[in-house]
Amino acid sequence: MLQKDKKSTRRKTAPKRAATAPKTAAATVAATNVRNASDAPVHRQVSAAERARMIAEAAYYRAQRRGFSNGDPVRDWAEAEAEIDAMLLRSR
């Protein structure tokens, strides 16, 4: 076989990449914040209807714990409302 007939087994080299500038401290912090942002808990707004549903559910469970007797539904609601509002404030 002649030398011309052989296919080259030589690998093509990848094009050279442009040199990157070293990261500044601000760029490093920004990259860290982006990476850690996905680790943070997601906080969202709760609508008035959803808040009322949460309060109603908490009030129901308060009444259920005492056996639905000898209680005041208005007091159950007020205590549940305070509990839910405190929980929502903590989650911000």
Residue 84 and residue 56 in contact, taking contact as beta carbons nearer than 8 Å: no
Which of the two residues, 1 and 43, has the higher pLDDT score? 43
List of long-range contacts for 49-53, beta carbons under 8 Å, 24+ apart: 51/84, 51/88
pLDDT tens column, 22-78:
554 444 444 444 444 455 555 678 999 999 999 999 999 999 999 999 899 999 999
The pLDDT value given to residue 24 = 47
- Largest Cα–Cα distance of the chain, in whole Å? 104
0.75 exceeded by pTM: no
The pLDDT value given to residue 20 = 53
